[in-house]
Amino acid sequence: MADYEQLDTPSVVLRADLQRLFDSLHARGYETIAPRVENGAIIYDEVTSVDALPAGWTDEQEGGFYRLEGRDDGALFGYTVGPQSWKRYLSPPIRRLWQARKNGDGFEIVHEDAPTPHYALIGVRACELHAIHHLDDVYLGGSTIDADYQQRREAAFIVAVNCGKAGNTCFCASLGTGPAVGPGYDLALTELVTEREHAFVVTVGSERGADVLADVPHRPAAPGEIDLAEAIVAEAARHMGRTLETTGLKELLYRSFEHPHWDEVAERCLTCGNCTMVCPTCFCFTVEDTTDLTGQSAERWRRADSCFTTAFTFITSGSQRASAKARYRQWLTHKLATWQDQFDSLGCVGCGRCITWCPVGIDLTAEVAALRAEEIGQPQPEAVLEMA
């Protein structure tokens, strides 16, 4: 995916005119996907009206803890990230790849040819935009292209939102993935709620973003409004609930393969796989074939998978990662070390979801800190000293 250059100076759209953004996107054939409240959490779903956004809600998050609470300023984006990520729209967790129908002595393969959905993703946070770029690396960056992802991704219109609040489990500032959105959006909003106005400072990131903004009443942002927008995001950066020291992270993980701390984590880990399901960059899937009872048709399905199941590495002699220790170590080492070898980046964007939605509150920032702390003063093998 090409990075878009910022094409315009910031504008201001009033809260009262934000519906026109949704209307413009609808008029262009987009299905607008945005945050809304359901079952006590903020999820991403089809939202056609600004009035359905989570106005006046915020979230409190900690390890194994998530609650919505009211806020009295009526902000539409006054929370951080919930349990879902945008990967469910760009790479759906369940997808039929093809069907086969019996045809005389053989089978006729019928490939799926559903029309590509055109999503406008509204409310994409900085860390989530980075996560989408990571999915681009996985699905589009190698020798094999995922055509379904490619079509969805190219069709998607991205309305990013700068964070004005950092969550207790957020650590994007440590990784350079937030809270200010980077390149790759069509439009980016920063919400201003002051005594004088409820408005959005809007930055254009693409030609089609400029086209959509042209349909929405707006005016040039005043210098004071631009300064306030920047100050809000800077304040969020100062209030990250977590940090992750990235210096030498890959080498630390590789050195720690036999570290006793993995046993301590394994005593707590339920191997439920929640961390992989909520993670915006986890991409593993499996393929399942099914047949009907008459043997007349068969189907091939692609389903999201998790490295926390024993089936994930099952081969003829059994699961290759039978213990919780082996599976947690694999997951964390892939996120923070082997991903760097594969894609030249960390596989984590610091969204904090795996901490919040782990039922026992296992916290990768704490586990890495423990590996570091328990390593201090310990003699290092020669091979490790060479790597460092």
Summarize as ranges the residues that interact with ligand SF4 (CB under 6 A).
269-275, 278-281, 308, 328, 335, 348-354, 358-360, 362, 364
CA distance 375 to 256: 9
Nearer to ligand SF4, 216 or 278 (CB): 278
Structure tokens at 16: 């009262």
Nearer to ligand SF4, 204 or 354 (CB): 354
Smallest separation, CB 145 to ligand SF4 (Å)? 24
Nearer to ligand SF4, 195 or 344 (CB): 344
Smallest separation, CB 92 to ligand SF4 (Å)? 19
Smallest separation, CB 129 to ligand SF4 (Å)? 12
Nearer to ligand SF4, 13 or 362 (CB): 362
Beta strands per DSSP E along 266-368: 285-291, 297-304, 314-315, 318-319
Cβ atoms within 10 A of the Cβ of 120, count?
A: 25
Q: How far apart, in Å, are the Cα atoms of 380 and each of 144, 162, 366?
A: 40, 43, 22
Backbone angles phi, psi at 12, to 5 degrees: -120, 130
Nearer to ligand SF4, 134 or 218 (CB): 134
Q: Which of 182, 160, 203 lies closest to 34, judged by CA?
A: 160
Cβ atoms within 10 A of the Cβ of 125, count?
A: 27
Nearer to ligand SF4, 25 or 282 (CB): 282
Smallest separation, CB 46 to ligand SF4 (Å)? 24
Smallest separation, CB 354 to ligand SF4 (Å)? 3
Q: What is the enclosing helix (H) or strand (E) of 99?
A: strand 94-103
Those residues whose C-beta lies under 8 Å from the C-beta of residue 25, and which sit 6 or more positions away, are 32, 120, 122, 157, 212
Smallest separation, CB 131 to ligand SF4 (Å)? 6
